Structures are given as structure tokens and as C-alpha cells.
Structure 1
Amino acid sequence: MSSLARLDVYTRHRQRIASAPFAELSVVRILRGSKRVDDGHDMAEVMAGQYLVVAPGQLLNVENLPAEGVYAASCLCIAADVPRPRVDVPPRRWAGMPARTVLDQAFDHAEQGLREGLAPSLLSYRIGELLEALALCGFVPLPSDGEPTTERVRMLLAMAPAEDWRAETVASRLAMSPATLRRRLAAEGSGFRDLLEEVRLGHALALVQGSAQPLKWVAHACGYQSASRFAERFRERFGCLPSELRGDDAGTIRNGVAA
């Protein structure tokens, strides 16, 4: 699996998403319109030409605001296991960042490498350049707060969100008993069913924003047999219906976070 992925978002409608999950280090370049972001304490509005950078494992309230009828953004998602620059900069959870030549160039190089299908060994240099550029601009991501068992379960579930997962199956895959799995998750303030729904709805959010597939197809791809039940859970989680993020012409430009 590539350590870098791209998601392009385009919409003519104002979008509001509550507690949008950022599972990976995400670098979002706003192309048209603006993005309003808050974490319950701090708020920022990121304008066209600027960047939103989010450390892995964060939940943010986001609002995509069209300008002259259009909101567009490009997001590069970097896998959590990519080495971080070793610089003396305090780690941060998220930040809005102004455009700077070094950051613009690094983003373009990484995006171009992904588009051209560079070999992973070569693409890693482009990712490293982007991470170094972020550090030079004052952003080093805070490591994910997730504990090992929670993260291992989340990564396993994310490999196949539509699968009919059971705690017993996951425990077996992780070489532990179901009781041990539940005990470890509880000690980390989590639970199997909560993690499964988090992964499925996070995947759903990416598909709703990042594909033109029908919402019924998205529901099934995320493990929901009932489209209405899926829509209900989506609204409870993100504060809006999946159809409200689509509109008549919302979607992505191509390829694949709430960018």
C-alpha cells in the first residue's frame, strides 16, 4: 500500500461536517473558497492558496465554504509510519498555514510523484521533502494518541470495512483471546463496536466526498445493509446527511479526509 494518497474535493454547496476524522497526517491545499475549522477550543478559517495541516488521529469540525459558487481543495494523506523530521519544533495537532514557496513546491512535487506513479522508494523522497517543508514552516505533527491495541484493531478493520467483523475474529487475527482484546480496549478507553463504527463511517465520509458512487453503494461498501440506517448513523456522527455533502454537483475531481 502506498504511504501517500490524494483526495480532491469539489463542491458548489456549503458543507458542514461535525467531528470529521483525520486518520493520517493530512495536508490540505485550498484551491477555491475557504475552509473553517474548529476543535471545540480554537477556530481558524483557511483561505484559497493556504493550507490546513492536521496530525493523525484528530477529530475536527469543518465547514467548506464556496467562493463565487465553488469550493475546491486537494489533500495529500501521509501514512502514520513515515518518519518525521527531527527538528526542535513543538508538535502540533493542527494548523492553518499561509502559502510559502518551499511548501508550495514540496506539495507540487509530492502530488506530481503520486500522479506519475513513482516507485515507493522514489516517492518517499517527495514525502520527505514535504515533511521537511512543513517543519521549516513550523509544523511537526503530534503523534497519534491511539494506544497500540486500539491502533492495531483500527488498521485491521480499515482493510475491509464492509466485512462482517466479530470481536472473536479480530482477537484471533491479533493472536489474543476475545476477553484480552476487550480488556485492552477498555483500558484504552475504547470498545470494539465503537471502533468498528468509527472506521466504517470514516471510510464512508471519504467515499461520499471522494467518489461519485451512489449512496446505496457507499452504504454497502461500508458494511451497512440498510441505506436508511447508514444515512441515520452518518447524520448522528457528522451532523449532516451524506446526500447533503453531495448536492447535485459535489464530488471529487479524481483519485484518492475531509478535504
Structure 2
Amino acid sequence: MPGAYVILDRLRQLAARDNRPVVPLSERRGGSSSLFTFVTHERERIAGASFSLLSIVAIVEGAKELVTMGRHLRFQAGTVLVLPAGWCGDVVNDPDPSSGAYRAIFIDFPDVLVRRASATFPPTRAAARLDIGLDATLAAAIHHAGEGIASGDLPAAVLNHRLMEVLMVLGMRGALPARPETTAEAVRALVRWRPDRAWTADIIAAELVTSNATLRRRLSAEGASLRDLVASERAVLANAMLTDDGLSLREAALATGYRSPRRFAERMRAAGPDREKRSD
């Protein structure tokens, strides 16, 4: 796709210098969108990265590694990562061996715009994949929005229109992640990003800014069990590790929070019907 590579060169101009956020991205709550650029000439690791808003990362040069959902994933230049609100994981930015540079463009999106785009292209479920290819249409939309944010002088209505361009392209490609609409979905989302964490009712309640009693009451009203939610979400991820990543039973067990392969195998069998349903 020659057009995409031309735009990739233009995106490289937006990422000419490192312009990282001062405030952690996990604390972003504003109603406006931000543009950040990450440039490094040395391999770097960022532990415990998390995003409070739906965000995209366009990898312009080099490669990015993510340790998330219990998996180690690597993405090359020309890839756009679509990270849902609440995503967390470890990040490694790896410079291109030829140029010696890693460059990426980060844009986050206010919830109000995400809801508007989702109304036009309703997500059917939380996106299983985080990455999509950078084609000419998506690259042009990112460049248009990035230039608008960087200028700092566009009227809000015009800038929002440019941001909506990006979201609508994502929606057309089925890459808009679904936001949790129920307490059960919110619990699943927490477990999905950190399946190896020792999740307890108290920890989950704290993450969802509620009490243990309220958490259990809401789940009961939805006909859901906290224990079953954690186990079934871990089983979904473990199944991907076993079938797609080629991990051993022991490796998949450890990556999803189990210390006993036997106990893990029992949980996998117990969650079998739900796993098949979630994989549809």
C-alpha cells in the first residue's frame, strides 16, 4: 500500500521529538484529547503503564512490545494499537536497528466522542485484538487529527470533527472496544488485563471504587458470580495461550494466576461451555 507508506513518512514528522506526558496517562480525566510522541534511541521498558481513556498508539518507527493479558506481544512499525479505557500492562519500546530510533504517536479520546462513535458502530464485545494495520485511510485520519491537536489553535468543534474521523475509521474496521456496561463486564475487564494478579473481592471492589458488599449485591442482581467471572475470563485467555501461543499447560497456568497445573486444568474444564460461548 504505497499510500500508507507516504503517510507514514508524514506521521514521522509529527514524531520528530520526544514529547511525553508529565502527568501519568492513568490519571487523565479531561474532556479534551491529547497528542503525545514517544521517541527513544535506546531500548526502554515502562512498567505498569495504564490508560484511563480509549487511546491509540501509531508505531511509526521501530517496534513495541506489550506484556498484557498474560501474553508477550510484539508489534512492528505500521501498526496501530487500540487500547481500551482501563488497559494496563508493561511496555517495551525498541528502536529500529537500521535507523536507531523508536517513534510512536499517542492520541487519547474523550469518553463523549467514543460514545458518539460507538452509537454509529456499536461494538459487539471487547476487542480481542489490540492491533490493526495502518492503511492509507486510517493513517490520513491520524495525521489530520494529530496536526489539529499539535496546532493548539483549532476551535473545539473542528478538532472534535478530526478526532471523530479516527474513531469512525476504527468503527468501520470493527476495532472500537466496548466499554463495560455491567458490573460483570467491568470485573471481566479487570481480570483480562492482569489475569495473574491475585484477585480478591476486596481488591476488585477497590479497583471499581465501590465496597465489597455493593460489588456482590450488583453481581447478584445480574445473576453473576465473582468467582465464576474470574475463572472463566482466565480460561478464555489461557485457551488463547495454549492454542495460539503454544504455551505449555504449566506456563499458561502461571500466566493466568494459577500455581497448580492440576487446579488450572480443573478450572479449564469447568469453564469450558462459557469459554466456547465467549469465543464465538
Question: Which residue does 1:39 correspond to in 2?
Answer: 68
1:248 is matched with none
- Aligned CA distance change for structure 1 residues 146 and 23 (closer, same or farther; 3 Å): farther
Deviation per residue, 1:144-187 (Å, 9 max, x gap): 6898xxxxxxxxxxxxxxxxxxxxxxxxxxxxxxxxx9xx6334
Does the Cα contact within 8 Å between 2:62 and 2:96 map onto a contact in 1? Answer: yes
Evaluate the alpha carbon distance shift between residue 8 and residue 144 of structure 1 in structure 2; reply closer, same or farther with a 3 A threshold: farther
Structure 1 position 102 matched with structure 2 position 137: yes
Instruction: Confirm or deny: 8 A CA contact 1:2 1:120 kept in the other structure.
Output: no
How much does 1:81 deviate?
Answer: 2.7
Structure 1 counterpart SS, 2:165: helix
- The reply on whether 1:92 has 2:126 as its aligned counterpart is yes
- Out of 174, 181, 197, which is 1:138 matched to? 174
What is the count of residue pairs matched by the alignment?
Answer: 156
Matches within 5 A, 1:147-226: 185-187=210-212
CA shift, 1:96, in A, is 1.3
Amino-acid identity (%):
25
Q: How far 1:25 moved relative to its partner?
A: 1.1
5 Å-filtered alignment, 1:3-82, equals: 3-68=32-97, 69-82=100-113
CA distance in 2, matches of 1:30, 1:130: 15
**Cα offsets for 1:21-69 (capped at 9, x unmatched):** 1111111111111101132334432211211110111112211111122
CA distance in 1 between partners of 2:164 and 2:32 (Å): 11
| Contact preservation (8 Å) 1:91, 1:139 | no
1:115 aligns with 2:140: no
Alpha carbons 1:57, 1:146 under 8 Å: kept: no
Distance in 1 (alpha carbons) for counterparts of 2:48 and 2:148: 31
Is the alpha carbon distance of 1:144 and 1:76 closer, same or farther for their aligned partners in structure 2, counting shifts above 3 Å?
farther
Q: What amino acid is aligned across from residue 46 of structure 1 in structure 2? A: F
Structure-2-length-normalised TM-score: 0.50
**Structure 2 counterpart of 1:17, which letter?**
I
Whether the 8 Å contact between 1:32 and 1:73 is mirrored in structure 2 is yes
Superposed CA RMSD:
2.8
Aligned partners of 1:144 and 1:106: how far apart in 2?
27
C-alpha deviation, 1:106, in angstroms: 0.9
> CA separation in 2, counterparts of 1:11 and 1:52?
18
Higher strand share: 1
Query: Secondary structure of the equivalent of 1:109?
Result: helix
More helix by share: 2
**What is the CA–CA distance in structure 2 between the aligned matches of 1:113 and 1:18, rounded to whole Å?**
30
Paired residue type of 2:173:
C
TM-score w.r.t. the length of structure 1 is 0.53
What's the counterpart of residue 23 of structure 2?
none
Q: How far did 1:2 drift?
A: 5.4
Matched, 1:128 2:128: no
Alpha-carbon distance, 1:88 to partner: 4.7
Q: Deviations over 1:109-162 (max 9, x none)?
A: 111211232111111111111100111222112216898xxxxxxxxxxxxxxx
Return closer, same or farther for 1:144/1:89 CA change in 2, 3 Å cut-off. Answer: closer
How far apart are the structure 2 equivalents of 1:102 and 1:127? 14
Deviations, residues 185-212 of structure 1 (Å, cap 9, x unaligned): 33477xxxxxxxxxxxxxxxxxxxxxxx
Contact 1:56 1:144 in 2 (8 A): no
- Rounded to whole Å, the distance in 2 between the matches of 1:19 and 1:134 is 26
In the TM superposition, residue 76 of structure 1 has moved relative to its aligned partner by 0.8
Contact 1:4 1:76 in 2 (8 A): yes
* Per-residue deviation, residues 56-99 of structure 1 (Å, max 9, x unmatched): 11112211111122111111111223223322543435611111
Higher RCO (C-alpha under 8 Å, 6+ residues apart): 1
